[in-house]
Amino acid sequence: MPEKAILAYFHSPEEALGIQTKLAALRIADVKVGRVEGFPDDHAFEGMNPLTGFVTGLSGLTMDASPSSPDAAVLMAADPNASGMSGGTDMLRRDGEADGNSAYAMRNISLTAIVDEAMFEKACRLIEQGGGLI
C-alpha cells in the first residue's frame, strides 16, 4: 500500500510524545519525535580577528556560543538573543498570551511519521487535535 509522510510541529515534547503514543495505538510504527535546533553544533569555528584576538562572532561575545562554521556564526548573529535588540523567543507570543499556545509561539518540537495512505487523514486529524501544526 502507498505511504505518505507527515511532518508536524509542537510546542512541547510532552505534546508530541502523547501523539506518538496515540499513533502507535493505530499501528503506525514509523514515528520519530525530535527537536528543531536553530544552529549546528559540531566543532567550534576558530575565527581570528587580527586586531583584538580570537572572536567567533557576535553570538560568541553575547551568548558565549561556539559556531561550527563561518556560516553558522552568521546564522547565530541573526538570533534576537545575540543582539539584545529584541526580547528573544519570549517575544514570539502575542501580547497578553503567556501560555505559549498562540499561532506565534515557538514550535520547535518535530514529529515525523510515515503512514499508509489509508491512515493519512486520520493521523493528521489526531495530530491537529493534539495541538500539532502540520
- Counted domains in the chain: 2
- Check whether residue 23 and residue 44 sit in a common domain: no
pLDDT (tens digit per residue) in 5-14: 999 999 889 9
Residues in the chain: 134
- CATH code of residue 21: 3.30.70
d(C-alpha 53, C-alpha 74), whole Å: 19
In this structure, what C-alpha cell is assigned to residue 53? 584576538
pLDDT (tens digit per residue) in 40-76: 554 444 455 555 665 666 766 666 677 777 777 777 7
- Check whether residue 12 and residue 25 sit in a common domain: yes
101 lies in some domain: no
- Check whether residue 29 and residue 45 sit in a common domain: no
CB 76 within 8 A of CB 67: yes
Domain residue limits at 54? 40-92
Cα–Cα distances (Å) from 71 to 12, 32, 38, 121, in that order, read 28, 28, 13, 39
